[in-house]
Homo-oligomer: A and B are copies of this chain.
Amino acid sequence: MEGDLMVLGVWASPFVRRVQMVLDLKGIEYEYREDNDLMNKSPLLLKLNPVHKKVPVLVHHGKPIPESQVIIEYIDEKWTDKPILPLDPYDRAMARFWATYIDEKCLPAFWKAAWVSPPGEEREKACEEAYEVFGKLEAHLKEGDKKFFGGDDIGYVDIVANFLLYWFVLIGEEVTGVRILTEERFPALWECLENFKGSPIAARHLPDKDKLLSFYKSRLAATSSS
């Protein structure tokens, strides 16, 4: 046990899984606490992350750290063995650039197209925007011509990106029926995701497909009826 280390999370969150995967990759032991009542934020969550009121939160020696990307950088700086971010400053900058792009551009574009927009013209427009956003990621990956975003091994951008891609494909294919990420449209992204899914470390952290689907289907039903 690496001192007093706890992750507050929700099993269905790709952001929480990022943190768990990084701790696993580094071989760091920790306590995990499930905080899965998304409708009523727990007093513990409100205390640990009063600004965003979101999981994951990492608590180390009593000090809370929210936001998955911030947490991963913290872990990588505190436990320097088996680095998650590249070591070279330029490569680190590029990793941060794409990780931010994924959370700030890809995520909202996907959500808008597949979840929020009503069918018809509005959804079509949102899909076009999403294709453009994901197209830049595809082009970047193609240019590198590597097995993973991080090169030959899973790295920071894979951890940030591939969890989301896994969720997106599932939600798009089987929950909302809006298929944005397909093998035909984004072959390089698709291959990278397949490589990721096939790795032992990812397999340990990708949640069960059926369980995840029923979780999101019930959320969609709740959204539609509210």
Please give the residue numbers on chain A whose beta carbons come within 8 Å of chain B beta carbons, in ascending order.
50-51, 60, 63, 65-67, 69-71, 73-74, 77-78, 89-90, 92-94, 96-97, 100-101, 104, 136, 140
Contacts and interface: CB of A to CB of B under 8 A. Distances in A.
Given A63-B90, A70-B100, 19 more contacts: A65-B90, A65-B93, A65-B94, A65-B97, A66-B97, A67-B97, A67-B100, A69-B100, A70-B93, A70-B96, A70-B97, A71-B93, A73-B92, A73-B93, A74-B89, A74-B92, A74-B93, A78-B89, A104-B104
A60 B101 contact: no
How many copies of this chain does the complex contain?
Answer: 2
A73 B85 CA distance: 13
18 contacts: A51-B136, A63-B90, A65-B90, A65-B94, A65-B97, A67-B97, A69-B96, A69-B100, A70-B93, A70-B96, A70-B100, A71-B93, A73-B92, A73-B93, A74-B89, A74-B90, A74-B92, A77-B89
A12 B92 CA distance: 28
A67 B92 CA distance: 13
Nearest to A104: B104
Given A51-B136, A136-B51, A77 B101 contact: no
A111 to B, nearest CB: 15
Nearest to A49: B97
Contacts of A94: 65
A100 B67 CA distance: 10
Top 9 A-B pairs, shortest CB-CB distance: A77-B89, A74-B93, A78-B89, A65-B93, A70-B96, A70-B97, A70-B93, A51-B136, A74-B89
A78 B93 CA distance: 11
A36 B74 CA distance: 37
Contacts of A74: 89-90, 92-93
Nearest to A133: B51
